[in-house]
Amino acid sequence: MKYLAIWILSVCVLEGVDFQKEVRPILSRHCFHCHGPDAENRQAGIRLDSQDGVLAETKRGPIVKPGSLEQSLLWKRVAHAKPALRMPPPHAHKDLTEEQKKALAAWIEAGAPWAEHWALRPPVRRDLPSVQRRGWVRNAVDAFVLARLEKEGLAPEAEEASDRLLRRLSFDLTGLPPTPEVSARFRRDARPDAYERMVDYYLASPHWGEHRARYWMDAARYGDTHGLHSDNAREIWPWRDWVISAFNANKPFDQFTVEQLAGDLLPGATLEQRVATGFHRNHIATGEGGVIPEEVKTIYVKDQVDTT
């Protein structure tokens, strides 16, 4: 016990524990399976994925008592000397490392501060920072960039030459260099919003959708062949064309994802919505003789989980 007390004192002096980076990942990976949002699988009625759940009282005391390790049931179970009473249980094969225990201890001692996941926080409009070179600022983003440059004692570069600026824009939005005709037209355009007009021009180009779709197709494992054995060709190009069309039509992201995951299950599903579910057929497939069906299925399903 003497050594345990010394160890606890040593971890309590840690400062600046970041809940999002250091504590939430521990709870998510090691605790949520049995004490998370899934009510059917939740054990002992303990929930650790919300602040109310973490601070809840039980018959044996509070799950977490901010500022007190001795009164925190979570800490008692995590640091218990008997494996049979320690959490996570041995059969889960998710034992905490000493560093993870230190992070939990420091977090509790610091008052168990909680922060919602960034995706659940409402966006907040920030005031623009004050800057010295106000004439350089054209939009809100410029103000933040310039404020940081001035803080570091740096000055912004002069505006790039029109040809190079157009080239960057073209590659960013379409993945292609500007054509000679477009370059000549841009050089002749003396209007103050000439650059903005070129942005609109490229966003309206079908190459915009082709370029953006490429990144999505890479993440979804798209390929014109099966990927194994003799790598036979397969016809999944209708899904590819659907993705390109979706980007070019500026389809809302929630609709974009729903149609790929379950477009065929939507009421009155259209042909395009059914084609969208080709997303699920992008993974490696094989017709090789001698394969073990369950093994191939496991690999396939894992790849589906990774992409969704």
Residue pLDDT, tens place only, 241-277: 999 999 999 999 999 999 999 999 999 999 999 999 9
Q: What is the DSSP letter of 22?
A: I
pLDDT in tens, 84-130: 999 999 999 999 999 999 999 999 999 999 988 888 888 889 899 99
Q: Which residue has the higher pLDDT, 57 or 308?
A: 57
SS3 content of the chain, % helix, strand, coil (to 5): 55, 5, 40
The residues with which 225 forms a beta bridge, in sequence order, are 233
Joined together, the tokens standing for residue 229 give 């054995």
pLDDT, position 16: 66
Written as six digits, the tokens of 19 are 């809940």
Under the banding of pLDDT at 50, 70 and 90, the label for residue 301 is confident
Higher pLDDT, 231 or 108: 108
Answer yes or no: is pLDDT of 76 > 90: yes
User: Average model confidence (pLDDT) for the chain?
Assistant: 90
pLDDT above 80 for 228: no
The C-alpha atoms of residue 46 and residue 58 are separated, in whole angstroms, by 9
- What does the DSSP 8-state code read for residue 67? T
CB atoms within 10 A of CB 89: 15
91 exposed, middle or buried (CB, 10 Å; 0-12, 13-18, 19+)? exposed
Of the candidates 219, 238, 230, 194, the residue with the CA atom closest to the CA atom of residue 283: 219
For the whole model, what pTM was predicted? 0.62
Q: What is the pLDDT of residue 13?
A: 39
Kindly tell me if the per-residue pLDDT of 217 is higher than 50.
yes
Check whether 2 has a pLDDT greater than 60: no
* Structure confidence by residue, pLDDT tens digits, 145-196: 999 999 999 999 988 889 999 999 999 999 999 999 999 999 999 999 999 9
| pLDDT score of 8 more than 80 | no
Q: Is the pLDDT of residue 12 over 70?
A: no
Q: Domain extents for the chain?
A: 2-120, 127-158, 162-204, 208-307
CA distance 144 to 126: 10
Residue-wise pLDDT for 31-65, tens only, equals 999 999 998 889 999 999 999 999 999 999 999 99
Cα(195)–Cα(8) distance, integer angstroms: 61
Buried b (16+ CB within 10 A) or exposed e, 115-141: eeeeeeeeeeeeeeeebeeeeebeeee
Average pLDDT over residues 138-142: 93
Residue-wise pLDDT for 87-100, tens only, equals 999 999 999 999 99
